[in-house]
């Protein structure tokens, strides 16, 4: 709350002090507390953008340097798989939004249902991610000593001509960035799902539907953010470069 | 008291420490380890960062001893590499970055804005423990073999060519980074949302503006170093080459990512000091800080500019000449807001009623040394100069003038200024003045010769040097031992004052600001009742009117 407003109307802030059972002692009003929590969450998301930003920078640079290698790497990822994962995440964003709605309208059953659905969707996303990683592992495309360059074909050649070993080595950088970006995204999903389990247990006991939806609201912000990161990852890793310039 | 001092202590015969305060609100390990009180967390940070300062200082002492003679006779070159790496890592990430925000900021921000605590007390405690865990990682890498990459972790040296504890050192910085992020987040939300009624943005003490700018840098820059450290560790563990030119990676990319954090971090190490200066200079000149708005916005301007200058660390690394030109220009532009501050502090003192208590002596030392450090920074920002000076002792002297001459003076200044508020007791004033003078003399004797050494071409990070440089190096080492006395003396009389110091009363300096209107040490909740602010910052007339009718001496 703007301090000027509080200054102009000190009585109101004083009277609100007694009411809400959710008010922590160092806040004057419930409004102030809720706004602080959500403001803090937004700033946290800002730091997350900077956190991913370093890797996006690296992606941008190497994509410009090793265009062919990035095309070859990108072609090995399954577009159907990626689309399915994207759909799952978008639906989970919807269920989280429904959870926030239910929490605000004090609908306990609705909240539990929405959060459970979100958890199921989140875990299925992680399972699909794991499957995809396993596939890459089997084909020896995990960067490191076991990396194999045999299966890469030159993107601008219609026939299946192997890439030059030099250029094919650079796909390692593509796959490293792929694992770094999707890995840290998946880590965020794991953290999200863990928090979700905690919220579910509390929500079943009646928390968050008693007039204090802040926690669910902030979790929703986090979940949407993780989704949005994926919305950037999906085109960068799966979609663009699939049809190389001739 | 004579007219040369403004110290106003209560009558020591009748004065008593307040009955209830944050230090006696709970006893035992648990009341400290699990405290949510921002003041106690500040004390925890103080003890931890001072511990790290001792380690870093010890490394510096060993280095200076080695450099006493031209031959590399005290330590081998490998050991010397470890010494300066550990000195740099500890001093930057575990002392300079946390000391001012986490100690003075944690203690003072809520009180100065009229709040009972920071916005998220649990997060505050969590960030302390995160810092502690990061510190343990760092200690592990020091004790089990050290790390020798320099504090800059230059690739591919750090990823492929050294076999020291790079991974644990990088992880320590990664973890401690989250402590900075959470502290910054906490401060921003606190300053935005928890100001007392009537405490508008332009009634805030300038201290708060500086810390706000610091917090912005924490939030925006620290995540980038975090991910960079992860990439370094991954590259070492899995041997993949994002930064390795042999595999197609780009070591310059590492430099960009590293300095995108580390240059703004340099301002993290000076902005809080500038906040302390504004408070102290105003108080000991008995005047409102000249050009309040300009000083406030120059803090924010420094924070904004700090994000557009990082490549000036890379002028010799083969970045394009055009971008070097732009970064050179931006680096020089940072001098403008910095100069605004220095000029405004000088203008505050002009025709002020200046007194020379210990904090003011440190403030003088800050302003002078920071100006030298800042101006040599402008010299280094110009391309031709920089190519000549890079990797010489000139650079070492430049950033030590800013960080030690500037920031450490400011921290000492702040500790002396708020010591009566933190502990409720005064330190011995004469010894304080002696220590401040010792620090100033020792500092200049240590680091001024290094400007000349650098100009003559002595490179940094070597344990041996040609015999012609010995005289200046001996001066520097001699200065370092005086500097050490300048640190040990306050440590001793601060400890002494905890038990035997004079009782300070609530406002020994007769300063404005909400923190001086409450008892010292403060209550656990700071204020019995949240104050309504109806006065401007640094309004010494308001204070005089208020205290004129107060009864301070009973009986």
ipTM entry: 0.90
Lowest mean pLDDT segment, chosen from A180-194, B9-23, B391-405 = B9-23
Query: Out of A35, A62, A176, whose CB is closest to B193?
Result: A35
> For residue B466, what are the domain limits?
29-544
CATH value at residue B260: 1.20.210.10
Which distant-in-sequence residues (6+ apart) come within 8 Å of B115 by Cβ? A26, B190, B194, B195, B196, B526, B530
Q: Which residue of A has its CA nearest to B254?
A: A58
Q: Please tell me the distance from the alpha carbon of residue B494 to that of residue B232, in angstroms, as a whole number.
A: 41
For chain B, the average pLDDT equals 92
Contact partners, residue B470, CB within 8 Å, separation at least 6: B69, B70
Confidence at residue A244, expressed as pLDDT on a 0 to 100 scale: 58
pLDDT band per the 50, 70, 90 thresholds, residue B49: very high
| First and final C-alpha spacing in chain B | 19
| Cβ distance of A3 and B200 shorter than 8 Å | yes
DSSP states of B152-180: TT-TTIIIII--SSHHHHHHHHHHHHHHH
pLDDT grade for B247, boundaries at 50, 70 and 90: confident
Of B251, B268, B278, B244, the residue nearest B511 (C-alpha): B278
CB atoms within 10 A of CB A218: 20
Structural domain includes residue B425: yes
Q: Is B85 on the interface with A (CB under 8 A)?
A: no
Q: What is the DSSP string of B298-324?
A: HHHHHHHHGGG-GGGG-TTTT--HHHH
Spatial contact of B242 and A173, defined as CB atoms under 8 Å apart: yes
Please judge whether A54 and B231 are an interchain contact, meaning their C-beta atoms are less than 8 angstroms apart. Answer: yes
Secondary structure letter of residue B361 according to DSSP: H
Asked if pLDDT for residue B155 goes beyond 50, the answer is yes
**Chain B residues 237-266 with a CB less than 8 Å from chain A:** 238-242, 247-250, 253, 256-257, 260
B144 in Cβ contact with B117 (< 8 Å) = no
| Residue B464 pLDDT greater than 70, yes or no | yes
Q: How many angstroms separate the CA of residue A109 from the nearest CA in chain B?
A: 30
Q: pLDDT at position B392, please?
A: 95
- B9 domain-assigned: no
Partner A, chain B 364-403, Cβ-Cβ below 8 Å: none
CB-CB: which of A25, A46, A58 is closest to B242? Answer: A58
SS3 B457: coil
How many degrees, rounded to 5, is the angle at CA A95 between CA A90 and CA A99?
145
**Test the A interface: residue of B227, B235, B526, B530 with most A CBs within 10 Å:** B227
The answer to whether residue B236 neighbours chain A at the CB level (below 8 Å) is no
Domain count, chain B: 1
Helices (H), chain A: 3-8, 10-16, 30-65, 67-75, 79-104, 108-138, 165-169, 171-204, 214-234
Say yes or no for a CB contact (<8 Å) between A180 and B116.
Answer: no
B119, B199, B239: residue with CB nearest A144: B239
In chain B, which residues have their Cβ closer than 8 Å to the Cβ of A169? Answer: 247-248
Task: Give yes or no for residue B3 having a pLDDT over 70.
Answer: no
The label of the residue with tokens 């601060």 reads B494
CB contact under 8 A, A61 and B253: yes
Kindly give, in sequence order, each residue whose CB lies less than 8 Å from that of residue A20, ignoring residues fewer than 6 positions away: A30, A211, A212
Q: CA nearest A11 in B: which residue?
A: B197
Report helix, strand or coil for B146.
Answer: coil
Please check whether residue A54 lies inside any domain of the structure. yes
A61 touching chain B per CB within 8 A: yes
A144 Ramachandran zone, left/alpha/beta (phi>0; psi -120 to 50): left
Cα separation, A105 vs A213, whole angstroms:
9
The answer to whether residue A94 neighbours chain B at the CB level (below 8 Å) is: no
Mean pLDDT for B307-314 is: 93
Residue pair B86/B58 in contact by the 8 Å Cβ criterion: no
Q: Considering only the beta carbons, identify the residue of A10, A176, A180 that sits closest to B532.
A: A10
Compare CB distances from B195 to A3, A43, A172 and report the shortest one's residue.
A3
Minimal C-alpha gap between B239 and chain A (Å): 6
Residue B414: band (very low, low, confident or very high) from pLDDT cuts 50, 70, 90 = very high
- Does residue A126 contact residue A190 with C-beta atoms inside 8 Å? yes
> Which H/E stretch holds residue B43?
helix B38-66
* Separation of alpha carbons B144 and B157, rounded Å: 20
Pick the residue of B119, B191, B234 with the most A CBs within 10 A to test the interface with A by mutation.
B119
Name every chain A residue with its beta carbon within 8 A of the beta carbon of B250. 61-62, 65
Q: Is residue A56 part of a domain?
A: yes
Domain assignment present for residue B146? The answer is: yes
Q: How far is B227 from chain A (nearest CA, A)?
A: 6
Express each pLDDT in B321-351 by its tens digit.
899 999 999 999 999 999 999 999 999 999 9
d(CA B89, CA B92): 5
Compute the nearest-CA separation of B226 from chain A (Å).
Answer: 7
Q: Within an 8 Å CB–CB cutoff, is residue A151 touching chain B?
A: no
* Nearest chain A residue to B111, by CA: A26
| Tens-place pLDDT, residues B508-542 | 999 988 999 999 899 999 998 889 998 888 988 87
Query: What Cα–Cα distance (Å) separates residue B495 from each residue in A84, A100, B24, B419?
Result: 65, 53, 18, 11
Residue span of the structural domain in which A147 resides: 41-239
Contact B181 A57 (CB under 8 A): no
| Per-residue confidence (pLDDT) for residue B8, from 0 to 100 | 85
Contact (CB, 8 A) for B535 and B546: no
Q: Do the chains contact at B223 and A65, CB–CB below 8 Å?
A: no
pLDDT digits (tens, 9 = 90+) for B54-69: 999 999 999 999 999 9
Contacts of A1 in chain B (CB under 8 A): 193
Residues B186, B123 contacting (CB under 8 angstroms)? yes
Report residue A227 as tokens.
């989704």
> What is the Cα–Cα distance from B192 to B363, expressed in whole angstroms?
29
Q: Which residues pair with B523 in a beta bridge?
A: B526
pLDDT in tens, A199-212: 999 999 988 988 88
Residues contacting B190, CB < 8 A, separation 6+: B109, B110, B113, B115, B118, B119
pLDDT of the residue at A110: 94
A-B C-beta contacts closer than 8 Å:
126
In a domain, B13, yes or no: no
Closest-CA residue of A relative to B196 is A3
Does A7 reside within a domain? no
Which two tokens mark B407?
């920031």
Q: Has residue A220 been placed in a domain?
A: yes
Count CB-CB contacts under 10 A for residue B174. 20
CA dist A129 and A142 (Å) reads: 14
B36 touches chain A (CB under 8 A): no
* Interface mutation vs chain A, best among B244, B249, B310, most A CBs within 10 Å: B249
Does any domain span residue B288? yes
Q: Which residues of chain A have pLDDT under 70?
A: 1-19, 151, 153-162, 243-246
Give how far Cα A95 sits from Cα of A80, A91, A112, Å: 23, 6, 11
Is A52 an interface residue toward B (CB < 8 Å)?
Answer: yes
Q: Is the pLDDT of residue B277 over 90?
A: yes
CATH code, A150: 1.20.120.80
Q: pLDDT per residue over B97-137, tens digit each?
A: 999 999 999 999 999 999 999 999 999 999 999 999 999 99
Instruction: Please check whether residue B75 touches A, CB under 8 A.
Output: no
Count of domains forming chain A: 1
Q: Does B555 score more than 90 pLDDT? A: no
């Amino acid at each position: 709350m703007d301090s000027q407003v509080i200054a102009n109307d000190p009585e109101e802030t004083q009277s609100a002090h007694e009411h809400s059972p959710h008010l922590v002692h160092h806040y004057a009003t419930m409004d102030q507390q809720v706004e602080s929590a959500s403001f803090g969450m937004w700033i946290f998301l800002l730091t997350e953008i900077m956190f991913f930003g370093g890797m996006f920078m690296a992606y941008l640079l190497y994509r410009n340097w090793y265009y062919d290698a990035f095309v070859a790497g990108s072609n090995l990822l399954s577009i159907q798989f990626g689309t399915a994962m994207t759909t799952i995440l978008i639906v989970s964003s919807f269920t989280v939004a429904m959870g926030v709605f239910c929490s605000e309208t004090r609908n306990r059953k609705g909240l539990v249902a929405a959060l459970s659905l979100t958890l199921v969707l989140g875990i299925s996303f992680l399972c699909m991610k794991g499957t995809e990683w396993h596939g890459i592992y089997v084909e020896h495309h995990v960067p490191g000593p076991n990396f194999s360059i045999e299966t890469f074909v030159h993107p601008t050649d219609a026939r299946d001509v192997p890439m030059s070993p030099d250029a094919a080595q650079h796909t390692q950088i593509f796959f490293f960035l792929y694992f770094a970006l999707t890995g840290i995204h998946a880590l965020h999903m794991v953290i999200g799902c863990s928090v979700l389990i905690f919220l579910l247990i509390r929500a079943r006991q009646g928390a968050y539907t008693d007039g204090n939806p802040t926690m669910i609201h902030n979790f929703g912000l986090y979940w949407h953010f993780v989704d949005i990161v994926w919305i950037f990852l999906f085109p960068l890793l799966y979609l663009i470069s699939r049809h190389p310039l001739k | 008291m004579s007219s040369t001092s403004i110290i106003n202590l209560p009558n020591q015969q009748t004065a008593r420490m307040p009955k209830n305060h944050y230090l006696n609100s709970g006893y035992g390990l648990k009341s400290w380890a699990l405290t949510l009180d921002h003041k106690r967390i500040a004390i925890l940070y103080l003890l931890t960062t001072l511990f790290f300062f001792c380690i870093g200082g010890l490394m510096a002492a060993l280095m200076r001893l080695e450099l006493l003679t031209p031959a590399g006779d005290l330590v081998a070159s490998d050991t010397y590499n470890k010494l300066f790496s550990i000195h740099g890592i500890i001093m930057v990430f575990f002392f300079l970055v946390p000391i001012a925000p986490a100690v003075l900021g944690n203690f003072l921000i809520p009180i100065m804005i009229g709040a009972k605590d920071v916005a998220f007390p649990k997060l505050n405690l969590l960030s302390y423990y995160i810092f502690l865990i990061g510190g343990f990682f760092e200690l592990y890498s020091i004790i089990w073999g050290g790390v020798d990459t320099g504090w800059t972790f230059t690739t591919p040296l750090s990823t492929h060519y050294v076999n020291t504890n790079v991974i644990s050192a990088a992880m320590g910085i990664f973890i401690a980074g989250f402590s900075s992020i959470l502290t910054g987040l906490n401060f921003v939300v606190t300053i935005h949302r928890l100001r007392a009624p009537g405490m508008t943005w332009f009634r805030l003490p300038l201290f708060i503006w500086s810390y706000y700018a610091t917090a912005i840098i924490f939030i925006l820059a620290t995540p980038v170093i975090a991910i960079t450290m992860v990439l370094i560790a991954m590259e070492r563990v899995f041997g993949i080459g994002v930064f390795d030119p042999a595999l197609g990676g780009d070591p310059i990319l590492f430099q960009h990512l590293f300095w995108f954090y580390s240059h703004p971090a340099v301002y993290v190490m000076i902005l809080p000091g500038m906040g302390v200066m504004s408070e102290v200079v105003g108080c000991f000149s008995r005047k409102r800080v000249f050009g309040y708005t300009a000083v406030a916005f120059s803090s924010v301007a420094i924070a904004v500019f700090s994000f557009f200058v990082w490549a000036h660390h890379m002028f010799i690394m083969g970045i394009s000449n055009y971008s070097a030109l732009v970064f050179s220009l931006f680096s020089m532009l940072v001098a403008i807001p910095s100069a605004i501050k220095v000029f405004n502090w000088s203008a505050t003192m002009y025709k002020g009623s200046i007194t020379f208590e210990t904090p003011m002596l440190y403030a003088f030392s800050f302003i002078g040394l920071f100006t030298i450090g800042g101006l040599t920074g402008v010299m280094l920002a110009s391309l031709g100069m920089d190519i000549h000076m890079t990797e010489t002792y000139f650079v070492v002297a430049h950033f030590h003038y800013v960080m030690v001459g500037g920031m450490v003076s400011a921290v000492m200044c702040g500790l002396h200024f708020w010591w009566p508020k933190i502990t409720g007791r005064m330190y011995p004033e004469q010894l304080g003045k002696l220590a401040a003078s010792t620090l100033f003399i020792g500092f200049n004797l240590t680091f001024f010769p290094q400007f000349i050494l650098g100009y003559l071409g002595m490179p940094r990070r070597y344990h041996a040097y040609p015999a012609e440089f010995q005289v200046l190096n001996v001066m520097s080492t001699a200065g370092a031992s005086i500097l050490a006395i300048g640190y040990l003396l306050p440590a001793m009389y601060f400890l002494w004052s905890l038990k035997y110091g004079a009782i300070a009363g609530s406002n020994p300096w007769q300063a404005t600001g909400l923190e001086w209107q409450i008892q010292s040490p403060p209550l656990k909740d700071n204020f019995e009742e949240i104050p309504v602010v109806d006065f401007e910052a640094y309004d010494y007339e308001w204070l005089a009117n208020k205290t004129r009718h107060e009864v301070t001496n009973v009986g």
